[in-house]
Amino acid sequence: MKVALVCQSLLLSRALKSFLGDVVVPYKQCDFVISDKKIELDKPIFYISSTEGNLIIPFSKSSLFIELDKFFQHLLLLQGNVDDMMPHAKNTHALEEKITALTEKFRTDLIQTIRGYYGN
């Protein structure tokens, strides 16, 4: 999830930057925009307000993340990208098999090296 901030309130903008850290990116790179004002953009808007919106002021860091996650999951469902964002079970299983094989090979080589060193 990547968000851009378009806030009138400097205090809200700074608080969001502090809470979200690396999640905040420039507008062109974002998945959606967080704003405290009604605006028209070509990207989805997560609206924060004291009376209505996706999140009501005052809010906590945890409530912010919960509501942002709900909003983002809803966007993914609408766009049909849920499968693209989650690894497929088949690919995950193949990766696990490769890791297991590499680990077993390393274990075998390590045991042979130790036995060779101690002469067993």
| pTM for the full predicted model | 0.62
pLDDT at site 50 = 85
The segments of the chain whose pLDDT lies below 50 read: 82, 85
pLDDT at residue 84, rounded to an integer: 53
Query: What is residue 53's predicted lDDT score, i.e. its pLDDT?
Result: 86
What is the secondary structure of 68-119 as a DSSP string? HHHHHHHHHHHHT-HHHHS--HHHHHHHHHHHHHHHHHHHHHHHHHHHHHHT
CA distance 11 to 41: 22
Which residue ranges make up each domain of the chain? 3-85, 87-120
